[in-house]
A and B are shown apart, each in its own frame.
Chain A
Amino acid sequence: MEIKKLICINCPMGCPLTVEMEESKVIRVSGNTCKRGEDYARREVTAPARTVATTVKVVNGKAGRVSVKTREDIPKEKVLACVKALKDVQMEAPVCIGDLVAADIAGTGVDVVATGNVGEL
């Protein structure tokens, strides 16, 4: 049996969670005060996911960079690959909130979209 320890992120309580696992299946969650803690623990130990927010270069724009994000959470282990894949991506101004920046980033099936507006120079 494997034991994983987490801190719950749902509220200021920050409950110390203990997850008992057997062959990558969750057997028991303890230490949580509410249901949200258990849900979080189950997700976090089996399929942790994060939204990635970063910036990409803009050419011919009033600003040199525009902020972007993954439209949904991507698997945690793909976060660095996602940032790396965006390193050489370049957008042509004008850029608007919601514009597609890169499709299916790092093989996650999730698109990256602009979160800022940059007008033409």
Chain B
Amino acid sequence: MEKYDIVIIGGGPAGLAAAVSARESGIGSVLVLERDKELGGILNQCIHNGFGLHTFREELTGPEYAGRFIEKAEELGIACKLDTMVLEISPGKIVTAVNREDGLFELQAKAVILAMGCRERARGALNIPGFRPAGIYSAGTAQKLVNMEGFLPGREAVILGSGDIGLIMARRMTLEGATVKAVAELMPYSGGLKRNIVQCLEDFGIPLKLSHTVIDIKGKERLEGVTLAEVDGRGKPVPGTEEYYPCDTLLLSVGLIPENEISGKMGVELNPVTAGPKVNESFETNIKGVFACGNVLHVHDLVDFVSEEAAAAGKNAAAYVKRESAEDTAEKDVWDAAGREVPVKPGEGVKYTVPERINAAHMGEKLTLRFRVDGVYRDCYVSVWFDGERVIRRKRQAVAPGEMEGILLDRELLLRYPGLDAIRVAIEPG
């Protein structure tokens, strides 16, 4: 069986940044396993610009952003296997994978970094009544057809869901000559960036119908039209508000789900809110030496944050391998004995946090605690509580569920509370 220090599952932005960082931290034996025929992941089909403002201080398109990391990985001579599907990982870190060249094979890893990304929620999860005609696509599938294959999925479209992919596809379909009749959003606010609402919808006069959903699908072989209706505060359609839109295409942009089948099967504990692994300050899961980063951990809106998080995961995995492989176990013993993990709990207005356990003795000087809020709040404060004491209070003019938030924690601050039982993050009114 071939042996590697670090095996990374997935060659998208998270996998690439983790690989580069692990290599730069002095680990030579790194392997990236990617199921697609090229590296870069979903960035390759995100041809619009707006990526990289944090990382490179310039606006890049998705393929350009991926290109920077692919180039770096090549320079560093990082090994990759493309067209390779990972089937299983054992708790002992034996990775079982398959491809056309090697057939079915196993690898022994000292550390594993999970970077499989996420997939789109499909129609089946929405329970929209009606037949199952052709012409209903997830927004990402349509994006791949238009941007990579050069096919336009239809001429007249309605889009359900106003997340960024839905908005971006409204513009893309319009530029390619299709008519986008409406974007319907179940919630009273859009989950997409303001910039995309203005530049993808308003620029082309596409109506955004908030608090609306698709209640019926017409057409047996090919989609003929959809019925939209307004919904009440509990998401139930309001009778009398139905409107019929003839169309041949319905795009669904209704959420992303981290792909954790392999993680779950190997015994990685998952957070039911994020559907991603529960990790500590080192991005390590409950299984020692198994790390997670990027959209498989929690769905991001900015790839820059994915790269940042993955670089940390790669660095920590490298440190783990060095500690575990050293003949002299002194460093490992000190590490294992140092400090203890304190749980981080989502308080009022906060849906989840990543990480959800912090051992101050194992963290760097600073750590960004990332989280999402459960609604739109204006003129509020993000507060961090150490047990009954509020230790951080930062003003925010506005927070929304569509934009991931973060707050910086200092190791020094944490070390001053040795008896700490729990850390809580909450949104408090101004």
Using CB atoms and an 8 Å cutoff, list the residues of chain A in contact with chain B: 6-14, 33, 50-55, 57, 63-65, 67, 69, 76, 79-80, 83, 97, 115-117
Contacts and interface: CB of A to CB of B under 8 A. Distances in A.
Given A64-B149, A65-B150, A117-B67, A9 B199 contact: yes
A57 B399 CA distance: 42
Nearest to A33: B397
B397 A53 contact: no
Interface string B281-300: 00000000000000000000
A69 B62 CA distance: 11
9 closest pairs, A vs B, by CB? A67-B47, A116-B63, A9-B195, A115-B61, A13-B398, A14-B194, A65-B150, A9-B194, A53-B48
Contact of B194 (A7, A57, A115): A7
A70 to B, nearest CB: 9
Given A10-B194, A12-B402, A57-B150, 17 more contacts: A7-B194, A7-B197, A11-B194, A11-B397, A11-B398, A53-B47, A54-B47, A55-B47, A64-B149, A64-B150, A67-B61, A67-B62, A69-B47, A69-B49, A97-B67, A115-B63, A116-B64
A115 B147 CA distance: 12
Contact of A97 (B64, B150, B195, B399): B64
Contact of A53 (B61, B148, B149): B61
B148 A63 contact: yes
Nearest to B66: A116
Interface string B122-155: 0000000000000000000000001111100000
B47 to A, nearest CB: 4
A51 B59 contact: yes
Contacts of A64: 149-150
B39 to A, nearest CB: 11
A102 to B, nearest CB: 16
Contacts of A6: 198
Nearest to A63: B148
B147 A65 contact: yes
A9 B50 CA distance: 13
B405 to A, nearest CB: 10
Given A9-B198, A12-B400, A97-B63, A83 B147 contact: no
Interface string B376-417: 001000000000000000000111101100000000000000
Give the residue among B60, B194, B403 with the most A Cβ atoms within 10 A.
Answer: B194
A67 B144 CA distance: 12
Contacts of A14: 194, 398
B61 A55 contact: no
A8 B397 CA distance: 14
Contacts of B67: 97, 116-117
